[in-house]
Amino acid sequence: MRKWISGILALLVVGGAVFWLSLDKEQRGVLANMPTDRDVLFWDEDTRNAAFRALDAFPALADARVIEAGEAPYPLPEGEPLDMGGFDLDAYLEEQNAAAVLVVHDGEVVLERYGLDFSADGRWTSFSVAKSFTSTLVGAALADGYIDSLDDPVSKYLPDMRGSAYDEVTIRQLMTMSSGVRWNEDYSDPASDVAVFAEHESTEEGVDALVDYMRQLPREVEPGTRWQYNTGETNLIGVLVREATGKTLADYLSAKVWKPFGMEQDATWILSNSGSEISGCCIQASTRDFARFGLFAMNGGMSGGERVVPEGWFEEATTPAFETGKYGRGYAYQWWTYPGGAYAASGLFGQGIFIDPERDLVIATNSNWRNSNGGGGEGDARNRFYAAVQSAIDARRGAQGVIVGEPAEPMVRSQ
C-alpha cells in the first residue's frame, strides 16, 4: 500500500514538473503570484506585474479570443536615437513602474526601452486603450454599411434596450460618454458599477448580461448634456457593433486592421462571462503593435491600401466634445484629446498610445502604475514625458509646436 501511494505521489511530482516546464516565463510568473480573485482593481503590485503580461494564459483568470495577425509586418525601422536633453528617462521609467516605452517619429523607432523583465516579444494588456480600438470598429461598421448613422438610437441595433434610459440615447452620445445615465466608475469602491457589472448575470434568458445590467440604470440628466467616464457604455458599444455586423470584435479587428495593416503578432481580446469581447478593456498585444495601431490612426485609417473608416473619420473621432478636467485633456469618440491636435488612447495603470499628427509622432507605453488611475502623480508625470518628447522632436526638426500641458483650446460640446 505504501509503495502504491509513493508511486502515485512520484507520478504527481513528475507530472507537476512536466507541467511547470511546459509553461513560458510569463505563465510561471502568474502561477507564482496567482490572484485570489478576478477583480484586477484590487490585486497587489507583484500580482499585477505577473498577470498584465499573461491575462489570457489561464482560463481561471479570463477567456480570450485571438486577433489574428497577417504575414507581412508593417516595418518599424530603427532611426536616429532621440536626444531627450536633460530629461531623466531612467527616473521616469522607475516612477512609472514601466514595462515599455516606444517612440516612433517619421515612421522610425527613435526610442525603445523595456522594464519589469518585459520585452518586445511579450504582450501586455491594454485596459481602456481598447476603447479607442472599439471606437475605430464603429467607424469601420459605418464604412461597411452595418451602421447607418451615429445619430441612430442605440435601441435600433439593441432592441433589448427599448424602454430603458438608453432608448433615446444615440450612438454618438455613447461614443462621447454623454448618455446622462447614472454610473459609478470609482475604482476604489468594490460596490461601484465598474467593479460589479462584469460579474452580472442576466435576469432574462436570451438577453446579454451587459445589456441587462445597463438597461436597469436610471437617467440622471438629459442625453448629450454631461460627460461622465463610463466603461459600461464602451462595452455596450461593443455589443452593438457585434450585433450590427454579425461578427466577433476580435475577428472584425483582425480583418479590418490587424492583418491588412501588418501587425507583427497575434493579439487576444478578453471575453466577458457571456462570451463577448470586453470592448472597454483588455486587448493583449505587443508594445510595437500598439504603436502600429497609432500609425494606422495617424495615417487616416488606411489598411492594406484600402480605407477602413469613412473619409475624415479620425479627424471627427478626435475632435474634443467635452472638457474632462483630467490632466488637461478633452474627450471625443473614445479618444482623449490634447491641445495642438494630439490625441491618445489611455488605460488604467499607465497604458497609452499618444498620437501627434503635426509632429508625425506616436508614443506607446505599457506600465503598472502603483495608483491605478495615475492619482499618485503618474498621470502628470506621463504628460511631462509626452511634452519632453515633443520638445525633443521640435529641437530635431527646428520648429516649435504646441506642447502637452499648455492651456487647452476651448472645447465644443457635442449634442
The average pLDDT across 353-378 equals 95
According to DSSP, the residues that pair with 353 across neighbouring strands are: 345, 364
Cell numbers given for 384: 511631462
Measured CA to CA, the distance from residue 122 to residue 265 in angstroms comes to: 9
Task: List CB contacts of 60: < 8 A, sequence separation 6 or more.
Answer: none
Residue 40 has pLDDT above 90, yes or no: no
Q: Report all structural domains of the chain as residue ranges with CATH numbers, in order of start.
A: 26-41+58-126+264-406 (3.40.710.10), 147-245 (1.20.58.710)
Residue 377 has pLDDT above 70, yes or no: yes
Q: Which residue has the higher pLDDT, 139 or 36?
A: 139
Three-class SS of residue 131?
helix
Task: List CB contacts of 89: < 8 A, sequence separation 6 or more.
Answer: 101, 113
Measured CA to CA, the distance from residue 201 to residue 205 in angstroms comes to: 10
pLDDT of residue 199: 84
Three-class SS of residue 102?
strand
Q: Please provide the distance, in angstroms rounded to a whole number, between the alpha carbons at the two ends of the chain.
A: 77
The average pLDDT across 255-261 equals 98
Task: DSSP for 147-197, please give it.
Answer: S--TTSBGGGT-GGGTTSTTTT-BHHHHHTT---B-----TT-TTSHHHHG
Q: How confident is the model at residue 409 (pLDDT cuts 50, 70, 90)?
A: very low
DSSP code, position 275: S
Residue 3 has pLDDT above 50, yes or no: no
Q: Which residue has the higher pLDDT, 342 or 415?
A: 342
Q: How confident is the model at residue 7 (pLDDT cuts 50, 70, 90)?
A: very low
pLDDT of residue 195: 86
Task: DSSP for 26-64, please give it.
Answer: HHHHHHHT--SSS-GGG--HHHHHHHTT-TTS-TTT--E
pLDDT of residue 12: 43
pLDDT of residue 5: 42
The answer to whether the beta carbons of residues 331 and 227 sit under 8 Å apart is yes
Cell numbers given for 158: 439593441
Q: What is the pLDDT of residues 263-284, one digit of tens each?
A: 999 999 999 888 899 999 999 9
Three-class SS of residue 114?
strand
Q: How confident is the model at residue 327 (pLDDT cuts 50, 70, 90)?
A: low
Pairing mode, strands 64-67 and 98-105: unpaired
Residue 392 has pLDDT above 90, yes or no: yes
Measured CA to CA, the distance from residue 281 to residue 127 in angstroms comes to: 4
Q: Which residue has the higher pLDDT, 125 or 22?
A: 125
| pTM of structure | 0.89
Residue keyed to cell 513528475: 14
The average pLDDT across 127-155 equals 98
According to DSSP, the residues that pair with 108 across neighbouring strands are: 105
Task: List CB contacts of 354: < 8 A, sequence separation 6 or more.
Answer: 294, 342, 343, 344, 361, 362, 363, 364, 365, 386
